[in-house]
A and B are shown apart, each in its own frame.
Chain A
Amino acid sequence: MKLTLWTYEGPPHVGAMRVATAMKGLHYVLHAPQGDTYADLLFTMIERRNHRPPVTYTTFQARDLGADTANLFKTACQAAYDRFQPEAMIVGASCTAELIQDDPGGMAEMMGLPVPVIALELPSYQRKENFGADETFFQITRALAKPAEKTAHVSCNLIGPTALGFRHRDDITELTGMLADMGIAVNVCAPYGASPSDITRLGAAHFNVLMYPETGESACRWMERELGLPFTKTVPIGVGATRDFIREVSTLANVPQAMDEERLRLPWYSASVDSTYLTGKRVFIFGDGTHAAAAARIARNEMGFEVVGLGCYNREMARPIRSLAKEYGLTALITDDYLEVEAAIEAAAPEMILGTQMERMIGKRLGIPCAVISAPVHVQDFPARYSPQMGIEGANVIFDTWVHPLVMGLEEHLLHMFRDDFEFHDAAGASHHGGQHTAKAPAESPAPTDTPAKTSDVVVWLADAERELKKIPFFVRGKARRNTEIFASQKGLNEIGIDTLYEAKAHYAR
């Protein structure tokens, strides 16, 4: 038993719903009690889908438990087939139905429906949403995909995008365009937009593009083994990764590399002088493994940030994230405990968080700007405008998104110069953000200088040093405090005065 306040992932059957909802002509019959239908609103409200997810819930109640929940399942299954006439069905159990062991898969098989019925075994008490999506798509592929004659023209499949995915809709458009620039057609994109009959044609592609390992890797591995389809290992998020991806695709497809550099703005924007202020910004990165890894590379190599924390919530990606963190001189944070993430961020005192909607809230509480890089999603993560993460436009979008929460270059200097101005002070925040004007708090009355002001674990801040620290703008104050404390403890000091503060500043000057 584990106490959870907020979760990064839903149960595995929600993962299955993400696959079913992304597809066309597929219907999911879910053996589940009343209330599990809440999951529909994830798609209709958060993603603003204009159709109900293609899911039938059996809605069993307490009084059915002793009686005949199995028959209820069969009735629901038959009614769903009659009404929706899908090309194929998936059947499974939610967490409660798993406990009553009705075996939906076996029952559905016995019913002799005239379409393929794919049984899902998703262990609700061990696994989570990403696993559910990956496993569901794998089972659908295994059941339906057959060896096929290759397309005459070189083509690939886009694998992994689902409903409720972080920018999946726009990533598909971006990659389709990039591949077209290299003369490669998309054979099938799946699960997003694919029908069961499209799944049968997967084998006609020359290779697979694995967009999201979280939801597509098992299917890609199976297709590599059974259909002889190699798949890409690079996720093209960021400029460097996009270049690597193009090289990888060019090798797989045996076509020349091509990339529309005209559209690519991140490199110049990052090099232009206004971006100087980004140098060495300390960022904490947390998300799903794929997006966190991509963000780390962009942060360090393309934005010039310093990565001070790196982690992911999906244990399936623990190994790659641990070894990546080592490269960055960090210990990876692998947890789905929101409170643990909050504690780690607080301890690292970054100047910016690159995280999920959960970290955005942590940032709000701690007063640290945050840009969202990964699921779990929020209605804000489905913008009306074109806003991919992958490829060329993805890199441009990421530059804008990550810079937006920060106080911008010249403004940062003005804040240094005029930090006592009544409207233009720390607490007012960046001027391009909305929100209320915060009046500056009246200056505190000076305390005797020898009173210890703030005690951290080992060193004591004297009141005058603490006051001096407050004169430093808020967005660098965390770094200054932390550097000074490290400096003091390295020097064996147990008190920090104004001198220590400036000694440390000189020591860390870059």
Chain B
Amino acid sequence: MSFDTPPSTGCRDAPVLRERGQHEVFCGLTGIIWLHRKMQDAFFLVVGSRTCAHLLQSAAGVMIFAEPRFGTAILEETDLAGLADAQVELEREVGRLIARRPDIRQLFLVGSCPSEVIKLDLARAAERLSLQHAPHVRVLNYSGSGIETTFTQGEDACLASMVPSLPATDARQLMLVGALPDVVEDQARDLLAQMGITSVAILPARRADDPLSVGPNTVFALLQPFLGDTLAALERRGARHIPAPFPFGAEGTTGWLRAVADEFGVDDATFERVTAAPRARATRAVAQAAESLRGKSIFFFPDSQLEIPLARFLTRECGMRAVEVGAPFLHKHILGPDLDLLEAGPQLTEGQDVERQLDRCRAAQPDLTVCGLGLANPLEAEGLATKWAIELVFTPVHFYEQAGDLAGLFSRPMRRRAALKLGAAS
């Protein structure tokens, strides 16, 4: 199928199976694992329980042991008794933390399930702490609790919390939204610069001092599909969203760049000159990795919220067939361009009842299953090849130069199964 031809019937209006049951997904706190690496002078202080601390430690690949720029203020029995106390206790712990880490310029107080349930007012705490530690440290707050956020939504909540305090500007600029590895971010800037788009800001900035502002002449493009609250927050500041497919694979990257280029009036010849070579490279790299994927079926458990754009990439560029595409939630406005490109056919699901979904997966016997870490080994043991979804948010996979790597993430489990020969020689 040519990339330029969208399918006659896309998935924008396809029926969605909505499920309510056990969700086998991380909560939003998990985003801290990559956010603290991206923002090098930020510290993430979760106000929560021992479970929160244990989750971060376990999800951090068990374990990153450089002194991390995240920690948990663990609530104890005494904090639960009186709320006034908890504010004082928090101020004390933050004071100690800032004294210990003078390199910290931004501190995020991150709400958790227990802090939300006891209604600990972290917004007020952040305000008071900001006054105490200004101008050296800025204190913000957001919730990464499991009762409100799913996995990558934690990044959304974090970025959204930064928007209201951004300085205002009237300058015409492009803002890219989403935390990507520095190398990928640089590639994107470079492609845009070659097209003459040089006034580019990125949220989140790498450091607190990096200039970043927003206003009515700001247009923004999302780099990740899970940034709905951030989108709304930016719109409230007068900025305008550029709808686009997400920059996964040659087609997604081209579509994303095209949408941005159109906004800035880049002519076709320039666009072609800038994108032709990397686009051809990406197509070649994807084709190589996709050899073992062509004609194979794939089943997505809901996890990172990248499922729809990835299904679009894997079906259109790698020749796979999607059986079921589950997402924690379907933000149709953001995912619209990708849904249009995804050919009707796969069952779309939103939310989860993991037991029922496992039943469907076992019945479908897909060639590859994309799922979280809790399900991967059990499914492998049942004979199903899996790709753990968390790698998709930890690995550089966006834009042309990573398109081959992205396909490779999916083909590696298939190649590995083919490579292992454990029987007696025949």
Contacts and interface: CB of A to CB of B under 8 A. Distances in A.
A203 to B, nearest CB: 34
Interface in A28-58: 33-42, 44-46, 48-52, 56-58
- Chain B, interface size category, equals 35 or more
B378 A52 contact: yes
Interface stretch (A5-13, A166-174, A224-232, A306-314): A5-13
A300 interface: no
Contact of A48 (B116, B150, B377): B377
Contact of B71 (A4, A60, A76): A4
A115 to B, nearest CB: 19
Interface residues of A, number: 59
A59 interface: yes
Given A95-B114, A99-B114, A125 B26 contact: no
B25 interface: yes
A462 B81 CA distance: 56
Nearest to A362: B65
Nearest to A60: B147
A458 B310 CA distance: 63
A51 B50 contact: no
A1 B51 contact: no
Given A34-B147, A95-B113, A3 B93 contact: yes
A364 interface: yes
Given A1-B90, A76-B22, A38 B147 contact: no
A88 interface: no
Contact of A379 (B27, B62, B74, B378): B62
Interface string A54-94: 00111111101100000000001001000100000000001
Nearest to A360: B65
Nearest to B54: A10
Contacts of B150: 34
| Residue from B30, B65, B72, B381 whose CB has the most chain A CB atoms within 10 Å | B65
B67 interface: yes
A223 to B, nearest CB: 30
A125 B118 CA distance: 13
Interface in B366-388: 372-378, 380-381
Contact of A11 (B30, B47, B50, B145): B50
Contact of A38 (B22, B58, B96): B58
Nearest to A125: B77
B21 A3 contact: no
B23 A34 contact: yes
A385 interface: no
A156 to B, nearest CB: 32
Given A3-B71, A34-B147, A65-B117, A10 B21 contact: no
A218 interface: no
Nearest to A58: B22
A139 interface: no
A14 interface: yes
B53 interface: yes
Give the one of B53, B148, B375 with max A CB within 10 A.
B53
B404 interface: no
Given A42-B58, A124-B51, A4 B22 contact: no
Contact of A4 (B55, B67, B74, B376): B74
A490 B223 CA distance: 65
Interface of B: 21-30, 45, 47, 49-51, 53-55, 57-59, 62-63, 65, 67-68, 70-77, 79-80, 86, 89-90, 92-93, 96-97, 113-114, 116-118, 145-148, 150, 355, 372-378, 380-381
Interface of A: 1-7, 9-11, 13-14, 33-42, 44-46, 48-52, 56-62, 64-65, 76, 79, 83, 94-96, 99-100, 123-126, 128, 357-358, 361, 364-365, 378-379
Which 6 A-B pairs rank lowest in CB-CB distance, beginning with the nearest?
A35-B27, A35-B146, A40-B374, A50-B381, A361-B65, A96-B113
